[in-house]
Structure formats: C-alpha cells, structure tokens
Amino acid sequence: MRLIRFGEPGSERPGILRGDGARHDCSAHFADWNRDFFQSGGLTRLRALAESGDLPKVSDDARWAAPIARPGKVICIGLNYRDHAEESGMPVPEEPVLFMKGANTVVGPYDDVLIPRRSEKTDWEVELGVVIGRDTRYLESREAAVESIAGYAISHDVSEREFQLEHGGQWVKGKSCDTFNPIGPWLATRDEVADVDDLELTLSVNGKSMQRGNTRTMVFGVLTIVHYVSQFMTLEAGDFITTGTPPGVGLGQDPPRYLKPGDVVELAITGLGHQRQTFRSA
C-alpha cells in the first residue's frame, strides 16, 4: 500500500494512493497515520479497507502533506555512504553515526523550504527514510528488525553546513531549521519495496543532476541500522529514520555550492516517487 496525507498545514487528513494515481480519503475510518495507528495494527485494518472499501477521492489540487503525522523522533544516520564520507573529508564510520533532527522540520514533499536567516551554506541531501511500525527495543538480530518496519519514503535531509560544522557541539543546529525535512510523497509499506538494498536515489538542482547513488553502497544497511538504534533507545511506532546520503552534496563541490532563494531541488528514489521544492528566504 501507499499511504498519503493531504490538506493544509494543521488540517491534514490520512489517505491512500491507488495504482491508478488517484488519492482516496481515509479520514472517516482513521484519525491519522500516527503512533497510535501503527502501534495498534492499523496497517492490517487499512489493508482490508483498501481492498474492499469505497473511499472518496481527494481533490487533485489538495496539498500533498508528509505521509506520516509528526513523528516522536527523527533519527539520522551520518556518513552512511563511503564516497559521501570521503567527499566530506571525514573517515568512514566503524559504527552508525547517530544524530537527531527536530520533529517539527517535517513538511510535505512539494512545500517550500525556508533558507534560515544569516544562512550562506544551506545544502541538499536525498535520503531513504524508514518509518517504524511498532515500539521496538533491544532487537536480538538484524533479521528481527524486518517486523519493526512499517515502510519507506523519500527524505530530504536539508542541512545548513555553517550551523552544523562551524558553531561547535553536535550537528543538530544545522539540521533542525524549520522545513528542513520534506518527506513523501507517499509511504510505501515494506511489501511494496522488493529490495530495499538496491534503490536508486537522485537529486537535481535547477535541472542539473547533483546526486546519484544506490542504497547498495550504504555502509550500514536498513536492517543493521534499525537493530543498532534499538540497542540505545526505544524506537516508537511512527518514528522516522533517515539513513544517509550519497555523494554530490553542495559541501562536496569544488568550490562548494549552496542553495539560494529561488533554487528548485528535485529528488526521486526507485518506487517511492518524486519530490520538488523551491527554496525561499525565511
């Protein structure tokens, strides 16, 4: 299944995307695609509804919202592509590098992204996002992580490199600016993705290709990441993990190149759709 949400900010409603491209409203049956939905086995009930229910269509001009409600946590994996670590001038990690991103960064896949005040180094990063499907802690193996995953979505881990790298401390300052995590357009349940370890990721800026990579070159795969994170904290249903970016970010250009107002960034991942954002001044 492909889960979507639609509507203006603060008034989003849950729905599904059918194979013919039509969006359908599920708000008469479910409150939202949130922690309670995933934790209570809502995907099973939704599947039955999707197969038999007569659901109203969503207007074509309705805003595409992030396909999950505001998550409890957004957990990020840093330097998870060997060639991206090299372009960043940092060693390839021996264990997953974890940091957090503010949950209020999450916006829709076609929403404008705001370049922060005083920013001169706002950067792009296409990433595979993982949605947690049930509360999870102390997984015994990477194989056990499969049942903890609800599905996958495109994540744009927008970053401000000066804030991230030049002001001391951890990376959160450069990662948690408003609108810095467009997600979607849909959440593909894990049965929709034949091989999560072989997905192509692409990103362009103003029509010029900047990033192209494949999840098979990740240092740590999705199951390894979920298993690893569960050893340090409870992953709650509806939490979001963004799993790292391939090479081609602005920081890695020679000379470095960063986003300015009016720039248009487009992202895609195999089977997970396409995003498009225009960058504006905050």
84 and 202 share one domain? yes
pTM given for the model: 0.96
Q: Say which amino acid occupies 244.
A: G
61 and 78 share one domain? no
C-beta separation of 48 from 217 below 8 A:
no
Measured between alpha carbons, how far is 159 from 134 in angstroms, rounded to an integer?
29
pLDDT for residue 228: 98
pLDDT digits (tens, 9 = 90+) for 202-242: 999 999 999 999 999 999 999 999 999 999 999 999 999 99
15 and 105 share one domain? no
pLDDT for residue 7: 98
89 and 199 share one domain? yes
Q: Mean pLDDT over residues 81-106, rounded?
A: 88
83 and 156 share one domain? yes
User: In this structure, how many other beta carbons lie within 10 angstroms of the beta carbon of residue 121?
Assistant: 20
pLDDT digits (tens, 9 = 90+) for 145-188: 999 999 999 999 999 999 999 998 889 999 999 999 999 999 99
We report the CATH number of the domain holding residue 170 as: 3.90.850.10
**Alpha-helical runs (H) found in 22-148:** 35-39, 42-52, 82-87
pLDDT for residue 84: 77
32 and 146 share one domain? no
pLDDT digits (tens, 9 = 90+) for 40-63: 999 999 999 998 778 999 999 999
C-beta separation of 234 from 137 below 8 A:
yes
pLDDT for residue 207: 98
Looking up tokens 């946590």, which residue turns up?
73
85 and 58 share one domain? no
User: In this structure, how many other beta carbons lie within 10 angstroms of the beta carbon of residue 57?
Assistant: 12
Q: Determine what percent of the chain is predicted with pLDDT higher than 70.
A: 100
pLDDT band at 88; cut points 50, 70, 90: confident
> For residue 276, what are the CA distances in angstroms to 36, 204, 212, 215?
30, 10, 16, 21
175 and 156 share one domain? yes
**For the sheet containing 113-115, what is the strand order?**
113-115, 273-281, 264-269, 200-205, 208-214
We report the CATH number of the domain holding residue 30 as: 3.10.330
- Which residue range(s) make up the domain with 238? 74-281
Q: How many domains does the chain have?
A: 2
pLDDT over 80 at 32, yes or no:
yes
